[in-house]
């Protein structure tokens, strides 16, 4: 217990009282600002794609400076792209109007062009009343209904003199530095953010630029891998009398090893193949390229025997990729007789669809390539009817639905059965309808699955 004195001390003369209320207000303001920055940076750090990060940055900046609208221009100074312009509270047409203003007349345009003395934020508190601005700036502002703006450059801190240098992180990977873009927030009335707001959005923008630089390099790497994957697939499908072909591929973020192939064989025969290599990234792409090249060679030598083709492919996989596993399906087709002989190695069964039937082809149960010391499974033969389309697809189509295996197969069956009659003449239209129906609108399943999807459609006359 602390005893309380009953005597009151006399006030000390000449010593001012401590400004307690002022200090408490300042401390409370700092704590509030730090809390706000922490929440906004946490939300930004949770974004995993470049588009989502750009949108989050634009929304958070608008909240910090007290604006309702704005736009963000991503234009890396190294010229490698990607370049994008997104808006907040602005339609595409309104963004187009803003882009009609000469770049040299806008603060963000001067920064993106790397002009001197353009590395700091720029406030335009009264656009309509500023005679020093370009007349087109005032004209567009009056048309779109904004009266002030605040432009914040987006740049990483390790730029060279020209703003285009690059740094190498501890992992040894080059990361883009320098000018990345600029954000502009618009006010409906003449206004200017407070000094405190400018400081907060500046701190947030520096953190956001580093995050954007990481996502930018990741997107570039994904684009490079996707370009390599496209080069490994057929540039065009063969034209064989009696059959029409179409192929579709939906690459996931990791760009896995899903592939397809179609090659003409002697006597107007046709070899169709589809498969998937486990994993993702460059290793999966390399394995995919080797398997596809090997299958083409084996199909030319012994294409009439799908079992022999897949047996040779199994040996190739064990010799070149001893730790990898893959699924594959190869079909030998004679379009003039409308016969298909196929064998599969752990792959999903084809689906034949037409006006009178939609059913899965019964294939023999077999293990994926690389799972057994010696692979072999009997082949099956079936005859599609005139006007029917046979769909070969990879397992990613089922996994992206987010459903259980049985429900995913049922969903695929219903999508194929529901193809409108007017579309059944075109195998590409059939494949597009199935993909639109089976896959959710965002391309991912309810479980967040983002595997590659490959579909090969063959319509027999």
pLDDT tens-digit readout, 91-117: 999 999 999 999 888 888 888 888 777
Task: Tell me the mean pLDDT in the region 52-65.
Answer: 94
Report which DSSP code applies to 232: H
133, part of any domain:
yes
**pLDDT > 90 fraction of the chain, expressed in percent and rounded:** 51
Of the three residues 183, 204, 226, the one that is the final residue of a domain is 226
Taking 80 as the threshold, does the pLDDT of residue 239 lie above it? yes
pLDDT in the model for residue 170 = 38
Q: Give 338-387 pLDDT, tens digit per residue.
A: 999 999 988 999 999 999 999 999 887 788 887 765 556 788 999 999 99
Same domain, 263 and 286: yes
Q: Compute φ and ψ for 235, nearest 5 degrees.
A: -75, -25
pLDDT in the model for residue 374 = 58
Same domain, 453 and 332: yes
26, part of any domain:
no
pLDDT in the model for residue 104 = 86
Q: Is 17 helix (H, G, I), strand (E, B) or coil?
A: coil
pLDDT in the model for residue 35 = 87
317-354 core/surface letters (b: 16 or more CB in 10 A; e: else): bbeebeebbbbbbbbbbbbeebebbbbbbbbbbbbbbb
Considering the chain, what is the average pLDDT of its residues? 84
Same domain, 388 and 406: yes
Question: From CA 245, how far away is CA 272, in angstroms rounded?
Answer: 10
With contact defined as beta carbons under 8 Å apart, do 154 and 182 qualify?
yes
Q: In which band, very low, low, confident or very high, does the pLDDT at 250 lie, cut at 50, 70 and 90?
A: confident
Task: Tell me the mean pLDDT in the region 19-28.
Answer: 71
Q: Which has the minimum average pLDDT: 6-10, 168-172, 181-185, 227-231?
A: 168-172
Task: Tell me the mean pLDDT in the region 321-349.
Answer: 89
Q: In which band, very low, low, confident or very high, does the pLDDT at 177 lie, cut at 50, 70 and 90?
A: low
25, part of any domain:
no
Orientation angle between helical segments 427-438 and 405-417, nearest 10 degrees = 140
Report which DSSP code applies to 424: T
Give all strands of the β-sheet with 380-382 in edge-to-edge order.
256-265, 269-280, 326-334, 339-345, 380-382
What does each C-alpha distance from 397 to 36, 58, 114 come to in angstroms?
A: 42, 35, 46
141, part of any domain:
yes
Helix (H) or strand (E) holding 282: helix 282-302
pLDDT in the model for residue 162 = 38
Same domain, 442 and 389: yes
Same domain, 208 and 240: no
Same domain, 242 and 360: yes
300, part of any domain:
yes
pLDDT in the model for residue 6 = 45
Question: From CA 223, how far away is CA 57, in angstroms rounded?
Answer: 23
The residue ranking higher by pLDDT, 33 or 157, is: 33
Same domain, 212 and 250: no
19, part of any domain:
no
First to last CA, the chain: 99
Same domain, 367 and 262: yes
Same domain, 335 and 434: yes
Helix (H) or strand (E) holding 249: strand 243-250
Task: Give the domain CATH number at 288.
Answer: 3.60.40.10
Of the three residues 187, 202, 226, the one that is the final residue of a domain is 226
Same domain, 218 and 252: no
Of the three residues 206, 226, 246, the one that is the final residue of a domain is 226
Taking 60 as the threshold, does the pLDDT of residue 229 lie above it? yes
pLDDT in the model for residue 27 = 73
Same domain, 221 and 257: no
Q: Give 415-445 pLDDT, tens digit per residue.
A: 999 999 999 999 999 999 999 999 876 544 4
Q: Which has the minimum average pLDDT: 64-68, 385-389, 450-454?
A: 450-454
Helix (H) or strand (E) holding 258: strand 256-265
Task: Give the domain CATH number at 63.
Answer: 3.30.450.40
Task: Tell me the mean pLDDT in the region 150-164.
Answer: 66
If one counts the domains in the chain, the total is 2
pLDDT in the model for residue 19 = 62
pLDDT in the model for residue 34 = 84
What does each C-alpha distance from 166 to 74, 283, 434 come to in angstroms?
A: 17, 27, 45
The neighbouring-strand residues paired with 346 are none
The Cα angle at residue 172 between residues 168 and 176, in degrees rounded to 5: 35
Structural domain that includes position 90? 34-157+175-226
**Predicted structure pTM score:** 0.66
Same domain, 389 and 444: yes
């Amino acid at each position: 217990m602390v005893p309380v004195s009953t005597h009151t001390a006399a006030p000390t003369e000449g010593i001012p009282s401590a400004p307690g209320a002022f200090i408490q207000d300042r401390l409370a303001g700092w704590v509030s600002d730090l809390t706000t920055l922490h929440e906004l940076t946490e939300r930004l750090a949770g974004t995993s794609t470049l588009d989502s990060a750009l949108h989050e940055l634009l929304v958070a900046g608008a909240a910090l400076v007290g604006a309702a609208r704005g736009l963000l221009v991503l234009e890396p100074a190294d010229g490698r792209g990607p370049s994008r312009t997104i808006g907040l509270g602005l339609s595409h047409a309104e963004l187009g109007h803003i882009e009609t203003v000469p770049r040299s007349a806008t603060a963000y345009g001067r920064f993106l062009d790397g002009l001197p003395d353009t590395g700091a934020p720029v406030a335009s508190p009264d656009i309509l009343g500023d005679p020093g601005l370009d007349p087109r700036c005032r004209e567009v502002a009056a048309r779109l209904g904004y009266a002030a703006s605040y432009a914040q450059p987006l740049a990483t801190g390790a730029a060279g003199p020209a703003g285009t240098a690059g740094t190498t992180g501890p992992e040894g990977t080059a990361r883009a530095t320098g000018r990345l873009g600029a954000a502009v927030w618009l006010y409906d009335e003449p206004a200017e953010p407070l000094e405190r707001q400018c400081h907060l959005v500046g701190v947030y923008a520096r953190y956001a630029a580093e995050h954007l630089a990481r996502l930018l390099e990741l997107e570039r790497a994904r684009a490079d891998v996707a370009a390599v994957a496209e080069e490994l697939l057929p540039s065009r499908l063969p034209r064989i009398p009696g059959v029409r072909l179409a192929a579709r591929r939906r690459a996931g973020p990791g760009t896995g090893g899903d592939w397809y192939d179609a090659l003409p064989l002697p006597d107007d025969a046709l070899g169709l193949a589809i498969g998937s290599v486990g994993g993702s990234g460059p290793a999966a792409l390399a394995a995919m390229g080797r398997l596809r090249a090997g299958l083409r060679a084996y199909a030319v030598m012994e294409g009439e025997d799908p079992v022999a083709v897949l047996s040779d492919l199994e040996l190739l996989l064990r010799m070149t990729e001893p730790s990898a596993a893959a699924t594959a399906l190869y079909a030998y087709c004679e379009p003039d007789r409308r016969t298909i002989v196929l064998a599969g190695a752990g792959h999903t069964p084809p689906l034949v669809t037409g006006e009178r039937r939609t059913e899965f082809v019964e294939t023999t149960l077999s293990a994926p390539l690389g799972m057994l010391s010696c692979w072999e499974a009997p082949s099956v033969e079936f005859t599609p009817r005139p006007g029917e389309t046979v769909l070969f697809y990879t397992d990613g189509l089922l996994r992206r639905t987010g459903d259980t295996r049985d429900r995913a197969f049922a969903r695929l069956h219903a999508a194929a059965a529901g193809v409108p009659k007017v579309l059944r003449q075109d195998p590409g239209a059939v494949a597009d309808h199935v993909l639109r129906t089976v896959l959710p609108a965002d391309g991912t399943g309810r479980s967040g699955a983002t595997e590659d999807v490959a579909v090969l459609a063959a319509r027999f006359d």
